[in-house]
Amino acid sequence: MMAGRLHGGPDHQGAARHDFSTCANPLGPCPLVVEALAGLDVSRYPDPASTALRERLAACHGVAPARILMAVSASEFIQRMTAAAVRLLGPRIAVEVPAQGYGDYAAAATAWGLPVRPRDPGDSGDGGAAAPLTGLHWWAEPSSPRGLDAGPPHGFAPAPAVTVLDAVYAPLRLQGASAWRPEDRDAAFVLHGPNKALGLCGLRGAYAEAPLGADAGDWVATLAALTPSWPLSVAGVQMLDVWARPEGRRWVEAGRPTLVQWRADLEQVLVRHGFEVAASVSTFLCARPPRAFDAGHLRAALRARDIAVRDAASFVLPGWWRLSAQPPGSLAALDDALAALLAAPPGRQTASPGGQPALPRR
């Protein structure tokens, strides 16, 4: 992991037995992908242009194959999209990001020396009375860490600015529907990374749908020129091929009732232990421990018990955690650990600092 980048999943202690820290589908790994990988021939290169795969993904989304752009991962596409923006729009642009969102949007901008403009949660993205921000606009639906919808903007920034919708967590939506209409999506790049929905964080592979319009051609050509050779491994091709097939997406859909129940069970456990639980439409949520207990110390104590949760401080939510729904055995372990750790007199804990941001309760 690069210095300064915080993610869920394994840390310097390795992988936790009970891992609430990532947003991966806890029902995974998808058996269809596992079966496909078993017979994989790794002695040959994959098609560097992913021709057949792009056609299947295009059919899945009802778009032309020319609009499908392959990526090593969603994070790689974020880096490449930022580089393309610098090349096409110039080095003096600014980048607009969700105020609480995936850190790689801002990290990529900072690497290019670009100013970053956090978007307030209630901001439509059209800039209000001020002139729209010229540059690169990032949106996510649902977003991490809060699992909430954000968008679409009331008015897309006019050319030459560009909008990207990060839809990586869209397959893990448990309630409601996207507010992004087909015409909204056609005006933006839409980024997909199904490894989380398939419960396969260790496999990398993503793709984006390019927008319609005359201006899209320059972006597609520039992104293609910046693409590394063979962006997908043969394993990544297999994963995306399963995702492009109806049965791959049906596997995710079939698990939704179980995920709804597991998330409800997680909320119940947290509330019973005095946590403040914020609203979410996805399999993950944000929660704040009781004010009398220091969130960092409590999180470390859980990690010592082989339980991992995600500190949300890097998401500009100090004192909050992001947790994902997990199977009953892991939830029971969390429940028991919290019962033991929170039984200590509050006076023996360090109180969390004041001024922590408030989130909508469920």
Q: What is the CATH number of the domain that holds 60?
A: 3.40.640.10
% of the chain beyond a pLDDT of 70: 86
Cis amide leading into 160 (omega within 30) = yes
Q: Does 131 score more than 50 pLDDT?
A: no
Asked whether residue 197 falls in the same domain as residue 309, the answer is no
Residue-wise pLDDT tens digits, 325-347 = 999 999 999 999 999 999 865 54
199 and 78 in a single domain? The answer is yes
pTM attached to this predicted model = 0.90
Decide which of 234, 251, 268 is a domain's last residue. 251
Model pLDDT, residue 358: 55
Say if 145 falls within a structural domain: yes
Q: What is the mean pLDDT of the segment spanning 154-179?
A: 88
Q: Which residues, 6+ apart, have CB-to-CB distance to 252 below 8 Å? A: 25, 30, 171, 172, 197, 198
Average pLDDT over the chain, rounded to an integer: 88
| Spatial distance between the Cα atoms of 60 and 57, rounded to a whole number of angstroms | 5
Q: Strand ranges (DSSP E) for 141-240?
A: 162-166, 189-192, 206-209
Q: 113-122, 214-223, 307-316, 351-360: which has the minimum mean pLDDT? A: 351-360
Q: What CATH number has the domain bearing residue 310? A: 3.90.1150.10
Q: What is the mean pLDDT of residues 185-204?
A: 96
Q: How far is residue 15's CA from residue 176's CA, in Å, rounded to a whole number?
A: 33
Are both 314 and 204 inside the same structural domain? no
- In this structure, is residue 353 part of a structural domain? no
Q: Indicate if 96 and 198 belong to the same structural domain.
A: yes
Residue 70 has pLDDT above 90, yes or no: yes
Using the predicted structure, report yes or no on whether residue 186 has a pLDDT greater than 80. yes
* pLDDT tier for residue 10 given thresholds of 50, 70 and 90: low
265 falls within a domain: yes
Which of 147-156, 212-221, 277-286, 312-321 is least confident? 147-156
Residues 324 and 194 in one domain: no
Is the predicted pLDDT of residue 267 greater than 80, yes or no? Answer: yes
Residue 8: inside a domain:
no
Same domain, 246 and 264: no
CA–CA–CA angle 200, 105, 179 (5° rounding): 75
Q: Domain boundary residue among 251, 271, 288?
A: 251
Question: Tens digit of pLDDT for each residue in 30-43?
Answer: 999 999 999 899 99
Residue 38 lies in a domain: yes
**What is the reported pLDDT for 30?**
97
pLDDT given at position 301:
95
Whether residues 314 and 173 fall in one domain: no
Tell me if 359 is assigned to some domain: no
For residue 128, name the pLDDT band (cuts at 50, 70, 90). very low
Note down the domain range covering 284: 18-25+255-344
C-alpha count within 13 angstroms, C-beta hemisphere, residue 99? 12
Q: How confident is the model at residue 171, as a pLDDT?
A: 97
Q: Which among 55-64, 90-99, 115-124, 291-300 has the top mean pLDDT?
A: 55-64
Please tell me whether residues 207 and 182 are part of one structural domain.
yes
Examine the domain organization and report whether 93 and 167 are in the same domain.
Answer: yes
84: Cα within 13 Å, side-chain hemisphere: 25
- When divided into structural domains, the chain yields a total of 2
The pLDDT value recorded for residue 350 is 42
The pLDDT value given to residue 200: 96
Does 169 share its domain with 209? yes
Q: Residue 207 — φ and ψ, nearest 5°?
A: -160, 165
Angle at alpha carbon of residue 174, lines to 284 and 191, rounded to 5°? 75
Q: By CB neighbour count within 10 A (0-12 exposed, 13-18 middle, 19+ buried), where does 199 fall?
A: buried
Q: Is the pLDDT score of 219 beyond 50?
A: yes
State the Cα–Cα distance between residues 11 and 13, nearest whole angstrom: 5
Query: Do residues 226 and 149 share a domain?
Result: yes
Residue 46 lies in a domain: yes
On whether both 145 and 272 belong to a single domain, the answer is no
In a domain, 135, yes or no: yes
Domain ends where: 202, 229, 251? 251
